[in-house]
Structure formats: structure tokens, C-alpha cells
Structure 1
Amino acid sequence: MPKESHEPSKEEDKKIDDKGPEDSTGQSGSSEEMLRKRIRKNTPSPHRLTPQSSPPKFVSVEELMETAKGVTNMALAHEIVVNGSFQVKAPEPAEGSLEKRVKEIMHKVFWDSLESQLNDDPPVYDHAIKLVGEIKETLLSFLMPGQVRLRAQIEEALDLSLIHQQAENGALDISKVAQFIINMMGAFCAPCRDEDVRKLRDIPDVVPLFRAIFAVLDKMKIDMANFAVSSLRPHLLQQSVEYERNKFQEFLDKQPNALDFTQKWLQETADAMLREPAEGAAGASGSSPQLLLSLHNRAYLRLLSWDHGMDAFPETVMMDRGRFQELQQDLERLTLVASVLLIVYNSAGEAISGLPGLIERLKGTIVVLLADTHTSSFRADEAFTAIGEKLCLELGECLSQHGFSPFHSNRQSALKGQIAAVRSQDNPIRKLIESRIQAYLLGFLESGPHKSGPALPGGLAPIGKELEEIGVRLSRLVNFNKLVYSPFYQKLLQEILQPGSSADT
């Protein structure tokens, strides 16, 4: 039985060519037709890579737990690598929460019990000795493998069996034990904890002293963890690409449909490229590698306008979803700022162009009034009304100071109306700014990690610095993501653009 071909027949090719639109140079829309041949005309099911007739793959609870642990470890390693300011923080229950109240009650009961034992006649040291044992383990955990002398010193001074014998014979000096612990803490702590350790020496009572010792030790554990993270980061940078890729492959082996949303994301981007005019498609229709790169970069740009309430996020970028969402919100604010400033300068004309410091003052006003844009309490109509009022006032004062004609009320009303219209997603000025920002960021992704960024399009100068910072943040995320998931992307993109072709080309 002959194998069915996925390529259009010669007759179909001819029909397509006959209907192809002509561009401004008189050439037929061959670039669009090339995309039509490469990109599937019908969006396939997101389960296409997994044959629908295949029986479901069952996994044990142990396998699922192991996979979950692997994904958790992968997410932690990823966070350490991409987040230069990542730090371990002590968990703290919310103020006024039931968890916090229970914790406080349990601690009070414990420390009251310890105080009661020590106040007995003769004193009972059972709880105190257990605390010394916990402190001993913590101090030993701070040691490096080669610190043999310190280890022996701690083992000797905090010998629990000896301390227990001293307690039974009434010869235990608990204050002396506490002072040794404080001395060791002073030797191990980071410089930022020197003052905390010094204050321990001023606490005369045993119970408050031990309570304070544990509080400082908890801080020291966090310090040590963050020191380990900073020491580990250079090593992770070298190993994380392979590590994350292998971990994701393990996850994919247990969940074969774990790339469904990634495939849908790339397929929809390809379909959107197909719908572009011939001029837009021409830039993406060169050699296959150029087409793959263009499609992939455009897919990342779509993440900056993602509907998080409706669309499932692609699996391969899930660990950076929060970062993409933060970038998206930053860009939305910058778009509004640039749109309002463009309207203001077009409205006021040459009278305000070049006036020193004016654009920064106007920008600062807009930024402050749009600071809560993505909060539930934000009221767009009120915010844009306030922006219009404030900017008209500042423009009027500025024009008067520099001897220009007053900013008449009819011009003010027109300007306020144009500013208020910016809050609409379909506002032409806003859409123009959005398209220019998209083009700028696409240029950032196409320029590569070791090349200078693209030129700033017109109208974006007031937000140029912020846009460049976002471009750098975006390109770092994208480049790292491409490195990790390149084998998976290669297969998906080849399947979308050239169904049935080898993924190794």
C-alpha cells in the first residue's frame, strides 16, 4: 500500500500559486506559500505527538513522588541560577494566623517547662541537656570537613554523657556550658551576626539565654545556607543546562503528554505567522534555520501578552512563568507611559520640545499614578482622569514660565480626552507603541547574547532605559531556556514546519 504524502499535489501547488497575492515589487507571495507548505493548515490536537490509540501509561505512587521530587529539585536549581538575588529565608507564619498563635503557645509551654525544671530543688536538667545536644549538632553542622581540631573541641566540651553525670552529682555549671556555646557561635557566625552574639553575653538568666541562643542559631543556619547557595551558583551555571534537561526528560518519560501546551504554543505562533501579510512573512521565510529561529523568538514574545486566566502556560517555560508575568506587567505600564507622553508632545507641539527636565517630570507623574495598575484596587478611569488633570496643570505652568501662550481650556479638554482614551486596548496610539516595543524586543532576541541591542524606535525614547533593562532580562531568560530545552524544541518545530522530516536536520 503506497505511503500517503503530506505534501500538496502538483495540482494543489498550481492552485495555490495562481491565487498567491503579489507584493509591492510585483512578485507573487512565494514567501507566504512557502510557509503554507511548511506549516500545517489545520491546528492539530495538542496530543498529536502521542498517538491517540496508544494505551494509557500507568505509573506507581512511588514513581509519581520521585518525579515530583525531581521537578522540585529542578525548579530550585533553576531559581538559584536565573535569580541572582535568590536567598533562603526562614519560614514565618502570617501575623495573626492560627499557625502563628499555636507556635507561640507551644514555645511558651516549652520554655515555661524548662524554667520550672531549673527552679526545682535540686534542679532538673533533662530538658536543658537535650537542648545542649541540639545546639551541639548545629555547631558541628557548621564545620568544614578539615576542621578536625574544632570538632574535637566541641565534642569534648559538649560531651552529653559527661554533662549528664555532672548534673546527677550536682556539679553542672550550665552557665559555663552556655558561655562555651556563645564563644563557638562567635567563631562561626557571619560578620552581620557579631552584634547578635555579643548581646547573648549580656543575658544573665539561663532560660532567656538559651531561648536567645536558639534564635541566633536559626539566623546562622540561614546565613550558612545562603553562603552555600552563593558558592554553588558558579558550579550550577556550568551544570544546570544538562541537569534541567535530564530532569525534564525523566518527567517526560513518566508523563508522555508533558509537552502538549508547549506544542500548542509553538503551533499557534506558526499559524499567526501564516496569517501575516506577505511582507511580514518574507522575513521569516528564508532558510529553514532562520525560519525556526524567527518562529521561536516570536513565540517567546507572545508570552509577554499572555492571557494567564484563559491559556495554559507552556510546560518548558513554566518555571519562569512568574518572571514572564512580571515582564508583561512592566511592559504594560511602560506602554501606557509612552503612549501618554507621545500624545502630550504631539498636542503641545514644539513649545515644550527640548525644555530641560520637563519630560522626566511628566513621566514621573504618570508612573506614580499608574503604580497600582495591576492591583484589584486600581480604577483606570479615575487614574487616567487624574493623569489628564495633573499633566495639563504642569504643562500650563511650564508654558507660562517660558513665555509661551497659555494652554487654553479647549486644548486642555482635547488633551484630557486623548489621554483617557489610552486606557482602551484598541487605542491606535497605544497599539502603535505596543507594536514598536514588540519590534524592539524582537530585535533584542535576534541580536544574540554577545551583540549590542537594536536601535530604539521613534516614540520610545522616554522609556528607553527601562526597555533596555527589560530586553536584557528577557534575552537572558530566553537564551537559558533555549539551551535547556533545545532538543525538545527542535523536534516540535521541525514537526510543525516540515511534518514527517527528521528532527536532526
Structure 2
Amino acid sequence: MPKIEKTVLQNDPNEAESGARKPKTPGQSQENKSFCLDDHCPESQHEVLSVTDLIETVNEVSKLSIAHEIVVNQDFYVEESVLPPNSLEGRIMEMMYNAFWDHLEDQLSSIPPDFTCALELLKEVKEILLSLLLPRQNYLRNEIEEALDMDLLKQEAEHEALDVPHLSNYILNLMIRLCAPVRDEAVQKLESITDPVQLLKGIFHVLGLMKMDMVNYTIQNLRPYLQEHSVQYERTKFQQLLNKQPSLLDCTTKWLIKTAVDLTTPSPSSPESPSSSRMACSPPNWAANNSELPSSTMVLYEGYVNLLLWDSDIEEFPETLLMDRMRLREIESQLNQLTILASVLLVARSFSGNTLFSTPKFLDKLKCITKALMEEFNPRPEEAMVSVSEQVSYEIHQGLKNVGLNALSSEKTASLIGQLQNIAKKENCVRSIIDQRSRFFLKCCLVHGMQESLLDFPGGLILIKEELAELGWKFVNLMHHNQQVFSPYYEEILKDIIPPAQAQEKEVESV
């Protein structure tokens, strides 16, 4: 589950009209580069802004990011923040927290009692209680306003007549009426506390949880509305950012130019082929290259798939996809894991035949074993594949024995283990082919749709069809949402990349 510490911000009713803004030419200076849409931008993409502009930008980016997260992440919710106990921030927060409650206890224990902190606390409690009410709960709203009338409570405090235990019990009874069922136990535990300071302390903590519950309830109810209006909302917010910083599309332009060049440039192994990195900063010369013109849609879809091979050390991420950068990294990681899994299963099947692999129980067991042992693949690929090869060869040996077939000879067993261990290398033939076909499948899903792509599933990937299909749905939904939001900007950029005289947009009949 993803975590976030911000509440949902409502749509700004005075939003500017959206529309595509023509980007600066790719050859323009990268100095004074645009501000970031997330915390993972390279330093070169930051601009020094005035304090006022910076605050406004942060607010706009926050609204855009939260709205986008709610729409694309169905598991999005607000969760209680727990700082690491040994961290500096955690220790400081704990010291300040304890100091406040100790100070409150000293004030209430003094003679005569000092209600200064208690009044501030009650004022904040009142605001939280009112924020938990639904619009229709006017009777309860009036009751809270009357029971926690701050002017009246201040007068009672001045006359040393403020009854803190009575007010705490009233608040506690109100919380019982307002809390979600998941908080019933926490509220009930407060009923046994007799010390007024400890009771207020517990009330304040549980109220924080109840406020978080209300935020999540709001998100749940807001999601259908945001899904209906998210495209226009996100495009409008992005346009507001673009109005402040016209160079905000520079990296997106570079990305699309490089994609167009790569689609039409011969293989880099050819001595006559120009370097795509050298050409990536300027539109391709279609006449000079004598290249067949790709459609703008094909350039965009190819660019989407290329994001799963992004080298963050040398390439600046497209601004229009920064909010989904971590999601794309996760999809890339899952795709790599599926590539390894499919490679292992194909090699294993080539040694054991179809008899074992036609049994769903055996295939599922082999998948579970391989997935579990692959958890250490990224830090130590060679060691992980040694474990995989040993366990897979053992399972095949036992499986053949169980169905009455001859076990693998020692030579074949050694060959099986060697081929499985060789999958740890990126240049492994089986792994390379599976990787290419997996990415090709994702591109087909973008071009032809999921249903048609599943009917024409690539050979060699059938053993991971269910897992790859699930990943395909995730990737396609994410990219199609991005395409809907930013299509005017992409069209404006691609119009300059693909010459208008030749750019008769073609329907994509084949990938």
C-alpha cells in the first residue's frame, strides 16, 4: 500500500483554461530548467524561484499529484505516520510531545490551576470534531458549538470553574457516536482512564486516527468524481505550471525526438548509421535518411515502452510522466522478474518435456519456488541462479520419478544446471529473446488493445501468460491515462518532429 501524509485538496474553481502550449525548440539552453513534479528529478531540472512562486508551485504540484494518485492508484489511502524510534526526527518529536503533556499536567496541578494549554487543546479538539461531521449533521454541529463554546469556556477558566474531566467525558461520548467501527476498541479503552491529562492525551491521539479515517472516506467518495474529470483537471493544472515555466516540456520533447530517431535509424552496429544520442537533440532529417515516416501514435507508444529501459544516469525523464516514474520503475522491475521466470521455465521444460509442464500443479510449484529464490536476484544474480538451478533440477528429477519416467542423466542434469545458471547474464540468449517478446507484447497491448493481444499471445511466453497479462493491464491503463491527459502537448511536439507535408496520420495495422 502506498502512504501519504497530506489530506485531499479540492479543485480550484478559478482554474485557467487548458490547452497545448508549443514547447521551446530542443536546441534551447537547459539553464534555468523547470521545477520538478516529484522528488526524484535530477538536479538539472530545478529552477530557483521566488519564495512566493515556490509556495504556489508546491501547492499546485501537490494538488496535481494527489489527484493523479487517487485516480491511477486504486489502493491509495492515508495512513498513520510512524517515525523510526531511533531517528533524530523521531527523538525530537517525542521530546516535544512529552514536554507538552508534562506542561499541561503542571498547569492543571498548580494552585490555582492554569487552563491556558487546556483551552488551546479543547479548541483544536473542537475543530477536529467539527471536521468529522457530514454536511447533513447540523443538529450535532450545533450541539458541539454549544458544548464547546470557547468564549464561555474561557470565562469559566478565568473563574477557575472549568471542568476538564466533564468536558473530556463529553468529548469521549461524542467520539463513540462518530468513530468508524475500526476505532471502537481504541475509544473503549479511553473509558477506563481516570487521569484527566492521560485521557486528553488518548483522546487527541484517537481523534487524529478518526480524522485520517474521514480523509480516506472522502477519498473513496471523491474517486468516481475525479475519475470522471481527472483528464481535464490534470491537464489544466499542468497548463498552469507550464504558463509559469515554458521550458517545462523540454525533456518530453527530447524523449519524443529520440524515439522517432530510433524508430527509423539503422542498427548502431552499422558503421554508416548516425548516433541516436547525437541526433536526439534535433528533429530527424527524414529526406536525408530516406526513412519511412512513422505515425505520431507509433512514436508515442514506442516511447512509452522505452521508459521501461530508462537510464536515469544519462537521460532526463519526460516531465509529463514524472508523477508515474516510480510506478514505471516498479513495472520495469516486475517485467524483469517475469523475464527471468519465463527463461527458467522454458529451459526446464526443454529438459523435462511437456509431460510435467502439462500438469498445472507442477508448473505452479516450480513458479513458486523460482519466485521465492529470485528475491535475492538483483543484489546477487549469480548466487540466486545457483539456488534456482539446484532446486529446479531437483524438482524435475522428483517429478519425472513420480510420473514413472526416467530421471535425467548426470550429463543432462549438469547441462540443465549450467543453462539455468547462465540466465544470470543479461546477454543470455533465452533471456534476451524473452525480454524482447515481453516488451513487444506490451507494445501490442498499447496498439491493438489487451483483448486482441491476449488472443495472439507471443510464443514462449505462454507459461507466464497470467502474470504478463496482469502487468500488461497495469501498464496500458497507466499509459492510456497519460495519453489522454497530455495528448495536446504530444501532438504539438510531434507536429514539429514529423513534417506536416508528409504527416498523413496512418492507422496502425501492424506493429
TM-score (norm 1): 0.82
Question: 2:9: which partner in 1?
Answer: none
Tell me the alpha carbon deviations over residues 33-86 of structure 1, each in whole angstroms, 9 at most, x when there is no partner: xxxxxxxxxxxxx96357679999999613344234322221121111111111
Q: CA deviation at 1:127?
A: 2.2
Does residue 385 (structure 1) correspond to residue 389 (structure 2)? The answer is: no
Specify the alignment match of 2:228 in structure 1: 238
Are 2:211 and 1:221 aligned? yes
Q: Any conservation in 2 of the 1:340–1:422 contact (CA below 8 Å)?
A: yes
Question: Matched residues in 2 for 1:401 and 1:236: separation?
Answer: 55
Q: Which residue in the other structure is 2:347 paired with?
A: 343
CA distance 1:172–1:247, change in 2 (3 Å): closer
Do the aligned residues in 1 keep the contact of 2:190 with 2:203 (CA within 8 Å)?
yes
Match of 1:195 in 2: 185
Q: What residue is the counterpart of 1:156 in the other structure? A: 146
3-state SS of paired residue (1:257): helix
Q: In the alignment, residue 240 of structure 2 is paired with which amino acid? A: E
Mean CA deviation greater in 293-302 or 451-460 = 451-460
Shift of 1:129: 2.4
Matched, 1:79 2:69: yes
- Distance between the aligned counterparts of 1:389 and 1:59, measured in 2? 56
Of 136, 141, 147, the residue aligned with 2:126 is 136
Aligned equivalent of 2:25:
48
Counterpart check, 1:274 vs 2:251:
no
What is residue 4 of structure 2 aligned with on the other side?
none
Taking only the aligned residue pairs, the percentage that are identical comes to 38
Do the aligned residues in 1 keep the contact of 2:434 with 2:461 (CA within 8 Å)? Answer: yes
2:204 maps to a residue whose letter is F
Are the equivalent residues in 2 in contact too, given 1:338–1:462 (CA < 8 A)? yes
Which residue of 1 is the match for residue 79 of structure 2? 89
Structure 1 segment 169-318 matched on structure 2, within 5 A: 169-275=159-265, 291-318=295-322
Which residue number corresponds to residue 460 of structure 2?
A: 459
Name the structure 1 match of 2:485: 484
Query: Is the Cα–Cα contact under 8 Å of residues 197 and 216 in structure 1 kept in the other structure?
Result: yes
Residue 213 of structure 1 and its aligned partner are, at CA, apart by 0.2
Which residue of 105, 120, 124 corresponds with 1:115?
105
Greater C-alpha Rg: 1
- Identify which range, 303-312 or 200-209, moves more after superposition: 303-312
Secondary structure of 1:143 counterpart: coil
Q: 1:151 to 1:287 in 2, by over 3 A?
A: farther
| Deviation (angstroms), 1:403 | 2.0
Cα distance in 1, alignment partners of residues 49 and 111 from structure 2? 58
Q: Give the letter aligned to residue 86 of structure 1.
A: F
Please tell me whether the aligned partners of residues 440 and 455 of structure 1 are also in contact (alpha carbons under 8 angstroms): no
Give the RMSD, CA atoms, in angstroms: 3.0
Deviation at 1:351, TM superposition (A): 5.2
Is residue 347–residue 419 contact of structure 2 (8 Å, CA) maintained in 1?
yes
Change beyond 3 A, Cα 1:247–1:501: farther
Q: Is the 8 A contact 2:389 2:421 kept in 1?
A: yes
Q: 1:249 to 1:489 in 2, by over 3 A?
A: same
What's the secondary structure of 2:353's corresponding residue? Answer: helix
Q: 1:48 is aligned with what amino acid?
A: T
User: Offset of 1:91 from its aligned partner?
Assistant: 3.2
What's the counterpart of residue 358 of structure 2?
A: 354
Change in 2 beyond 3 A, CA 1:220/1:274: same
Deviates more, 1:162-171 or 1:86-95: 162-171
TM-score (structure 2 length as normaliser)? 0.81
Tell me what 2:12 maps to.
none
**Alpha carbons of 1:108 and 1:55: their partners in 2 closer, same or farther (altered >3 Å)?**
closer
| Alignment partner, residue 17 of structure 2 | none
Give 1:254 shift: 2.6
CA distance in 2, matches of 1:490, 1:226: 37
Pairwise CA distance, 1:430: 0.9
Q: Are the counterparts in 2 of residues 143 and 151 from structure 1 also a CA contact under 8 Å? A: yes
In the TM superposition, what whole-angstrom CA distance separates every residue of 1:467-505 from its partner, at most 9, and x where no partner exists? 111111111111110110001111222221216789999
Task: For residue 429 of structure 1, report the CA deviation from its aligned partner.
Answer: 0.7
The yes-or-no answer on 1:368 pairing with 2:345 is no
Over 3 Å counting, the alpha-carbon distance change for 1:337 and 1:54 in structure 2 is: closer
Unaligned runs of 5+ in 2: 1-22, 35-46, 268-289, 507-511
Query: Is 1:331 aligned to residue 321 of structure 2?
Result: no
**What's the CA shift string for 1:136-167, capped at 9, x where partnerless?**
12212223344332222112212233334434
Distance 1:384 1:218 in 2: 48
Report the count of equivalent residues: 449
1:166 equivalenced with 2:156 (yes/no): yes
What whole-Å deviation, never above 9, does each CA across 1:167-214 have from its counterpart, x for those lacking one? 444544322111111122122222211222222211111111000000
Using the TM superposition, give the Cα deviation of residue 330 of structure 1 relative to its aligned residue in structure 2, in angstroms: 0.1
Match for residue 427 of structure 1?
A: 428
Matches within 5 A, 1:441-460: 441-448=442-449, 453-460=454-461
Q: Does 1:410 align with 2:411?
A: yes
Q: Secondary structure of 1:299's match?
A: helix
Counterpart contact for 2:119–2:154, Cα < 8 Å: yes
Superposed CA deviations along residues 10-34 of structure 1, whole A, max 9, x for unmatched, are xxxxxxxxxxxxxxxxxxxxxxxxx
Cα distance in 1 for residues equivalent to 2:241 and 2:102:
49
Distance 2:307 2:32 in 1: 33
